[in-house]
Amino acid sequence: MESTRQNKVSRLLQKDLGDIFQRESRNLFRGAMITVTKVNVTKDLAIAKVYLSLFATKDKEDLIESVRLHSKEIRYKLGQRIGKQVRAIPELQFYIDDSLDYIENIEKLLDD
């Protein structure tokens, strides 16, 4: 069970990372639409698992690898935004959120 502090930091990270991806996707990620769907923070607030939904791209694995390669730059930009609100900026770990694909697949199966 997550603490109140973890929930607050998770929501803050989700909001600000969403803004960063919205602004930087044209430059860094070839115009792909990236949405932050969920952020989980460890109890010590040192690591944040960031789940991304990827649209307008054919190869999701290449795009998530590109995001991981730019993680230090993303973390730096995040630090500029929330540095006054948290003591330390958590290490960011990025994962593909495939829950929308799963739901779409279930709906397709139900329609058939």
Domain layout of the chain by residue ranges: 4-111
**Distance between CA atoms of residues 33 and 39, nearest Å:** 18
Q: What is the pLDDT of residues 56-89, one digit of tens each?
A: 777 888 889 999 999 999 999 999 999 889 899 9
CA torsion sign, 95 to 44 to 8 to 76? negative
Diameter of the chain by CA atoms?
53
Token pair 């698992």: residue: 49
- Summarised one tens digit per residue, pLDDT across range 5-59 is 999 999 999 999 999 999 887 777 777 889 999 999 999 999 999 999 988 777 8
What homologous superfamily is domain 4-111 in, according to CATH?
K homology (KH) domain (3.30.300.20)
Query: Which whole-number Å values give the CA distances from 45 to 16, 76, 102, in the listed order?
Result: 16, 16, 30
